[in-house]
Amino acid sequence: MPARITMPAGRPVREYSPEIEVLSAYVAQVGESPVWDACNGVLYWVDIEGHSVLQWTYRTGATRQWRFDREVCSLGLSDDQTLVLALRDGVYRFDTKLAARSNSPLAPSCEALTLIAEIEADIATNRLNDGKVGPDGAFWVGSMDQRAEKANVASLYRVGSDGRAQRVGENVKVSNGLGFSPDGRYVYHSDSRGPWILRYAFDPVAQTVGAGVPWIEMQAGWGRPDGAAVDVTGCYWSCGIDAGRINRFSPEGELVEVYRLPVTHPTMCCFGGANHTTLFVTSLLPPDAGLAATQPLAGRLFSFQAAVAGLPASRFKSSQTHSSLT
């Protein structure tokens, strides 16, 4: 039976310490953005500071790496079997098959990488961060202030195959926590340096986005709200970075479950596996070397089994040809 903790208002919250399976020997400086590709039985994730896209194959357990010349901040799947990448300065299409034919898989050729939309390339102190393909087929991605003293200068964007980057949220320090309700009518978004997880109303027919409104007010001890996933019941699973936990919130925004992890800095989770009941989790190496030394799984990709299935990853609608980089 799970242990129980109590909210300030007296509401019981179930607490678990799940059995962890480590999937790859790769140690990321800042692991992020896990995405399960059910068609090919592989998991993709990124190492932002390691400038890399990683691929883990379920059947063999092998890990493959592609290294870039700048930060790789997040990724998504595309309907043309390529990847959508958020590099520090824009959103790109990445063809892994073309990259595999190059002489060095650690240095993708220009032909394998094509620009979809340049975003905030003129703001030297910003870079892109958390991104995810929505059920609308667009790539939603936010930016962040890289300075130590962060200001509300970052934004949230919705990027379509036509290359247009629509700003849908602003006044953010570190954009994070993207997720989508099962019916596609709500977008969830957090600021890792703010007290709130926001909810945006989205009209799938009109393709319009409402203003972000406060949905969940984070409490002390929950951790800063980092990457997230949504299950089939509409619950929102949020990585509590620096608190070593994943917080599961109900569709009404109430904390209902806590999953304790063997790392202090989980960064993002996603559902996958045969029945979408495996929760994959990325993590980072803590900035404190002493703290990192006590956590052998810090920076690793690992998983555990959930009692509920998650939503499958959506695919980017790549209906137009984009200009190739030179």
pLDDT value of position 88: 96
- Catalytic entry in 130, 226, 231, 242: 226
Q: Which residue has the higher pLDDT, 12 or 213?
A: 213
Query: Which pLDDT score is estimated for 322?
Result: 40
d(CA 244, CA 40): 31
* Listed residue (13, 19, 46, 29) closest to 270, CA to CA: 46
Residues of the chain with pLDDT > 90: what percent?
A: 86
Average pLDDT of the segment spanning 74-88 = 97
Which pLDDT belongs to residue 290?
A: 84
Q: Give the mean pLDDT of 286-301.
A: 90
Sign of the CA dihedral running 292, 294, 300, 304: negative
The sign of the torsion formed by the CA atoms of 125, 69, 324, 53 equals: negative
- 226 in catalytic set: yes
Q: How much is the pLDDT for 5?
A: 35
Residue 293: predicted pLDDT: 85
According to the model, what pLDDT value does residue 108 have? 65
pTM for the complete prediction? 0.93
Can you give the pLDDT at residue 314?
98
| DSSP code per residue over 188-243 | EEEETTSSEEEEEEEETTTTEE---EEEEE--TTS-EEEEEEEBTTS-EEEEEETT
Q: Which pLDDT does position 323 carry in this prediction?
A: 39
Q: What is the model's pLDDT at position 147?
A: 96
pLDDT of residue 289: 79
Whole-number average pLDDT of the chain: 92
> How far, CA to CA in Å, does 54 sit from each of 25, 228, 281, 308?
12, 19, 14, 26
How far is the C-alpha of 278 from the C-alpha of 36, rounded, in Å? 10
Lowest mean pLDDT among 30-39, 108-117, 130-139, 172-181: 108-117
Q: Report d(CA 184, CA 165) in Å as an integer.
A: 20
Ordered by start, the domain boundaries in the chain are 10-316
Residue 269's alpha-carbon distances to 237, 252, 262, in angstroms, are: 8, 20, 14
Instruction: Report the pLDDT averaged over residues 305-319.
Output: 96
Phi, psi of 91, deg, nearest 5? -105, 135
Structure confidence by residue, pLDDT tens digits, 204-262: 999 999 999 999 999 999 999 999 999 999 999 999 999 999 999 999 999 999 999 99
pLDDT at position 325 over 50: no
Overall average pLDDT of the 139-154 stretch: 97
pLDDT at 10 over 90: no
pLDDT value of position 2? 38
> Does CATH number 3.40.50.300 belong to domain 10-316?
no
